[in-house]
Amino acid sequence: MDTAIISHHKNFIIGSGPAGYSAAIYASRAGLNPILFEGMQPGGQLTITNDVENYPGYPDGVMGPSMMEDFKKQASRMGADIRFGLVTQVDFSVRPFKLWVDGDQLYTSDSVIIATGASAKWLGIPSEQKLNGSGVSACAVCDGFFYRNQEVAIVGGGDTAAEEATYLAKICKKVYMIVRRDQLRASKAMQDRVMNTPNIEVLWNQETDEILGEHAVEGVRLKNTVTGETSEIQVTGFFVAIGHKPNTDIFQGILNLDETGYIQTIPGTTKTNIPGVFACGDAQDKVYRQAVTAAGTGCMAALDAERWLVSEGL
């Protein structure tokens, strides 16, 4: 028996965060009456970000979760129907498009905006999974408090790792930053911040061979990427900050994705290879990946969707 359609919409937004909520604000103001399902992480990656200092309009900075709550409230005030739920399957082969939420709830929509963002990557070693939640974390802001005045390690050399290392340095006795190469990939500003923080020690040309500890993190065994020699450091917390993977698995074989899974859009637009389906935020941006650019593409997606609906007489 076919699943009964719960409701039909002019515009359906998959995912929240700066991109999804911004799309909802603009789509609501355009009279599209959008419905938005927030996904597994309502508010997106900014809900695990502490101080946001570079978003315009917040001269004194703002906490990531607080800013996302502001975005959500504004979208709701404009009339967006924001619900908790995860889109688990889509059918873009016919119009109206079909979308399943939480497995068995079927909705249809004339247009779709994808704002599913990205998720943290893991190293993939057994001890990482074994000790996840017992000293291993991918969110310094979430879990750093538990390691106050202790020694911790963080792996990664980009902006995320540098930002989280400086955050941890404020509350931890010492922070070891494990870097595979002989230089950081982080921006110059973030590199300067790391180098000027006395209790951060950068361990160059090192990779994580194993996280040590039976029931909780007790240390890390490192392997030198040049000589192959191993060494150990004693820490009670281990944080992973090696990048993100776009949350686009459900679009495999449906939308054009690049080799790493980012949705490919027509340059200068948010249009995908399927007319009526648009993508914004970190699901399609692997270059900038900032809150302000995500919000900008969310605006673009809503405007693109509105114009497309008009052109189709919908």
Closest CA to 230 of 209, 212, 202, 261: 209
DSSP 67-90: HHHHHHHHHHHHT-EEE---EEEE
Cα–Cα distances (Å) from 90 to 3, 98, 108, 114, 129, in that order, read 14, 6, 10, 11, 31
Q: Which of 110, 143, 159, 285 is catalytic?
A: 143
Rounded Cα gap, residues 13 and 26, in angstroms: 12
Q: Which of 51, 70, 81, 142 is catalytic?
A: 142
Closest CA to 65 of 48, 83, 80: 48
- Both tokens of 102, joined, read 């939480």
Q: Which of 51, 70, 81, 139 is catalytic?
A: 139
Residue type, 91: D
Contact 70, 78 (CB under 8 A): no
Beta partners for residue 60, in sequence order: none
Q: Is 172 in the active site?
A: no
Using CB atoms within 10 A of its CB, is residue 107 exposed (0-12), middle (13-18) or buried (19+)?
buried
Q: Is 143 in the active site?
A: yes
Which residues belong to the active site?
139, 142-143
